[in-house]
Structure 1
Amino acid sequence: MKNRKTRLAGLLGASLLLAACGTSGTSSSAPPGAQGFTPPKLEALKALGQPEGQLNVLAWPGYAENGSNDPKVNWVTPFEQQTGCKVNVKPFGTSDEAVTLMKTGQYDVVSASGDASLRLVASGDAEPVNTALVPNYADVQPFLKDKPWNSVGGVSYGIPHGWGANLLTWRTDKVTPAPTSWSVMFDANSPYKGKVIAYDSPIYIADAALYLQAHQPDLGIKNPYALDDKQFTAAVNLLKQQRPLVSEYWSDYLKESQALKNADAVVGTAWQVTVNLTKGEGAPLESAVPSEGATGWSDTWMVAAKSAHKTCAYKWLDYIVSPKVNAQVAEYFGEAPANTKACAEMTDKTLCDTYHANDAGYAAKIAYWTTPIPQCLDGRTDVKCKDYGEWTKAWTEIKG
């Protein structure tokens, strides 16, 4: 894990205009969803065949461990032994990188966050998933199924894997009193100027929008991923205002952990895995979901439309969300597992409480990463919203 290479965000080539995909003139096996676009015509696998002997996995770091980072952390080798599918793992550091790599056609499955999944659906890089071929899907939390980031028009495009919040995180020896609002990161007069660390991705614009939703209600923001011109400009301006406060933008959580450990940064947005790792190495760190709520992720395992190893792909989907393996991944990565039976398999029985794994109310407070598209995701039809391509351009400007 400590040898993980840094993956940089800001890959402009990854931006996909979903509206263009929705008007390609092709019919679809799925009707238009609330997302406002019609996916390309692709069929889900009808039945499993003989395992093809190989599987190329594109995954967030920590999702497909084979013992190379930590010999004690290995759920890939047992899968290979059970199925005969030799696994090749390619980790990625941002959703933009994942989308770009999927377009190469070299991968069979991908663990996609909501800011990547719709792009993969709209472009035809990911196909519908036949959940009947994934027995463990029956035990996935109901509040993770049939969501805007993993389904279109009532058709499932993947298997929920794990979820969590992007937490407000601070060093308790440097930040007092304990913050209860994101204002500690966004207020121009924050006493922690030059010591703030923020996520390096266009999707971070949603964090600013969520803050404005609470503090400037006159903007009318209902969904931080559905921003019209005025709302988008306000969020971008807030991030430009924040820029002098920021010491570093992170895309590698190990680098963020190091910055917090060394007190190069004392407050920021972080994943639970970062908090666990940094506290485990002795740093006085705490985290919380502030009063405004938080953005977060609900990751989905998706099957590549061009996959030549679809039986192995489905074997992986079922294996990775099985109770024992889902528990292993969640415990190692630092997130809530998707499988309702996974908590019983945890080594540390307190972790599911820490991650609110069975708390549908907590899950509802998270604004999950979702790909911004022109068709406003909050249901408005009288305006157009800014799409991910425009978010990407703005992010480049914000960082200067």
Structure 2
Amino acid sequence: MRTLRPLAALAATAALLLTGACSASKSPGGQTPSGFTPPRVPMRQSLGAGEGSVDVVAWAGYVEYGQDSKTVDWVTPFTKATGCKVNLKVAGTSDEMVALMKTGQYDTVSASGDATLRLIAGGDVAPVNTKLVPNYATVYPGLKNQPWNSVGGVPYGIPHGRGANLLMYNTAKVTPAPTSWGAVFDPNSPYKGHLTAYDDPIYIADAALYLMKTKPSLGIRNPYALTADQLNAAVTLLKDQKPNVNAYWSDYTKEQASFDSGDFWLGTTWEVIQQAVAADGKVKTAAILPSEGSTGWSDTWMVSAHAQHPNCAYEWMNYIVSPSVNAQVAEYFGEAPANSQACGYIKDNPNFCADYHANDESWWRNVYYWNTPTRNCVDGSGRNDCTDYAQWVTAWNEIKS
């Protein structure tokens, strides 16, 4: 699974690349991307014969060829059908993905929203011709042409899947049942020493979302578009929270183990972690979408601006988001699929799509998907007084110190 521990060395580069970048706001009910002007990178207009291989950067669990389990293999059928051998590089962080794609040695990447704008602004990825990806037609409309995967209405990738950052709690230890993120941000929490939080600068957006909903006087319109004063307010909230935190997590297996052991009682989680803890049966937990909504992530397959195997890259994108394969990946990885027909191909858990809210667009309207903080505010206001990714990295290091 993903772990997003930022590389400070990339922060300054990200800030330079994204100064002047602007995308639209995320708000319940829809998003309207508007843009900055990315470097000129041509969009592919047609496909030819496959080049025989494709070099892929991906999250662990997205590209399986039987390496972990002989029964989990969707790469071999792809190679047999297309003649494109898949060469996989697993990345552990979004920053690692950005660094790898900048080398020009890889053809496609499964980037999260905290990396996509950096890749677009850096000229590292090309616009995607969705007419060359037939399975794009059945991707959920709510994932298309969004601020993290398009600029000015031009798509820069193919949606892969999505997940929300939920509030999970031990039902025997946390009473009454929480309904708000206030349960983790209360400085006088009765659960001191048993809280957990996500270990990444992007977690600042969780605090900003809570403040956006509970302190409207701060004027926050989007949790990824914070002025210096708004960022300081979020940092203060997180500093107040820190003494109550048992540990920050980035490895999902460690959070799972800590809930199982009873060290963690309350904190941010993913649906897949809650499902895993429930399957373990050691403690009883529940996970909710709090009243303020939540942050979340939507991953996107993008094509390198310097792809040496662009035909195979397009073949891969079309294949990996096809209904049957997208269902396999979603169920194995633990996320809601991107293809609206994928639920018909889920095999092991008949309740999977209900558990992950795959078809419930009204539920996803309250999820503020990860986006890259930029100096030009990503709230659609046109202002350029927001804090950028480098400042968030500095702030997070200050919180953790």
TM-score interval w.r.t. the shorter chain?
A: over 0.9
8 A contact 1:96–1:116 mirrored in 2? yes
Residues 337-369 of structure 1 show CA distances to partners (whole Å, capped at 9, x for unaligned) of 111111111122321112221222111110000
- Unaligned segments of structure 2, at least 5 residues: 22-31
In the other structure, the counterpart of 2:114 is 115
Mapped to 1, the partners of 2:105 and 2:286 lie a distance apart of 40
Mapped to 2, the partners of 1:184 and 1:330 lie a distance apart of 30
How big is the shift at 1:266?
A: 1.6
Q: 1:214 to 1:308 in 2, by over 3 A?
A: same
In the other structure, the counterpart of 2:380 is 379
8 A contact 2:115–2:372 mirrored in 1? yes
8 A contact 1:197–1:250 mirrored in 2? yes
SS class of match (1:340)? coil
In the other structure, the counterpart of 1:10 is 6
Mapped to 2, the partners of 1:20 and 1:343 lie a distance apart of 38
SS class of match (1:312)? helix
Mapped to 1, the partners of 2:40 and 2:343 lie a distance apart of 38
Mapped to 1, the partners of 2:34 and 2:240 lie a distance apart of 31
More displaced, 149-158 or 65-74?
Answer: 65-74
More displaced, 243-252 or 314-323?
Answer: 243-252
How big is the shift at 1:104?
A: 2.5
In the other structure, the counterpart of 2:320 is 320
In the other structure, the counterpart of 2:356 is 355
In the other structure, the counterpart of 2:103 is 104
C-alpha root-mean-square deviation of aligned residues, in Å? 1.9
In the other structure, the counterpart of 2:393 is 392
Whether 2:189 is the aligned partner of 1:190: answer yes
In the other structure, the counterpart of 1:237 is 236
How big is the shift at 1:320?
A: 0.6
Q: 1:40 to 1:219 in 2, by over 3 A?
A: same
Mapped to 1, the partners of 2:168 and 2:91 lie a distance apart of 23
In the other structure, the counterpart of 2:53 is 54
Q: 1:35 to 1:201 in 2, by over 3 A?
A: farther
How big is the shift at 1:265?
A: 1.4
In the other structure, the counterpart of 2:24 is none
How big is the shift at 1:37?
A: 2.5
Matched to 2:10, the amino acid is A
Residues 217-261 of structure 1 show CA distances to partners (whole Å, capped at 9, x for unaligned) of 111111001111111110011111111111222221112111111
Mapped to 2, the partners of 1:350 and 1:228 lie a distance apart of 42
In the other structure, the counterpart of 1:28 is none
In the other structure, the counterpart of 2:302 is 302
Mapped to 2, the partners of 1:377 and 1:127 lie a distance apart of 21
How big is the shift at 1:91?
A: 2.2
Instruction: Give the 4+ runs in structure 1 shifted more than 6 A.
Output: none
Matched to 1:12, the amino acid is A
How big is the shift at 1:383?
A: 5.3
SS class of match (1:275)? helix
In the other structure, the counterpart of 1:29 is none
More displaced, 379-388 or 253-262?
Answer: 379-388
SS class of match (2:230)? helix
1:1-400 to structure 2, matched below 5 A, reads: 9-15=5-11, 16-17=13-14, 20=17, 36-283=35-282, 284-347=284-347, 348-382=349-383, 384-400=385-401
Matched to 2:391, the amino acid is E
Mapped to 2, the partners of 1:34 and 1:339 lie a distance apart of 21
8 A contact 2:164–2:295 mirrored in 1? yes
SS class of match (1:49)? coil
SS class of match (1:326)? helix
8 A contact 1:22–1:39 mirrored in 2? no
More displaced, 312-321 or 42-51?
Answer: 42-51
In the other structure, the counterpart of 1:27 is none
How big is the shift at 1:184?
A: 1.7
8 A contact 1:184–1:192 mirrored in 2? no
8 A contact 2:166–2:271 mirrored in 1? yes
SS class of match (1:247)? strand
Mapped to 2, the partners of 1:243 and 1:129 lie a distance apart of 42
SS class of match (1:296)? strand
How big is the shift at 1:381?
A: 3.8
How big is the shift at 1:19?
A: 5.9
How big is the shift at 1:94?
A: 2.6
Normalising by structure 1, we get a TM-score of 0.92
More displaced, 52-61 or 201-210?
Answer: 52-61
8 A contact 2:221–2:379 mirrored in 1? yes
Mapped to 2, the partners of 1:145 and 1:59 lie a distance apart of 20
How big is the shift at 1:321?
A: 0.5
Q: 1:368 to 1:8 in 2, by over 3 A?
A: closer
Residues 186-213 of structure 1 show CA distances to partners (whole Å, capped at 9, x for unaligned) of 1111112121121111111000000111
Mapped to 2, the partners of 1:23 and 1:174 lie a distance apart of 47
SS class of match (1:373)? coil
In the other structure, the counterpart of 1:30 is none
Identity %: 56
Normalising by structure 2, we get a TM-score of 0.92
Mapped to 2, the partners of 1:148 and 1:181 lie a distance apart of 27
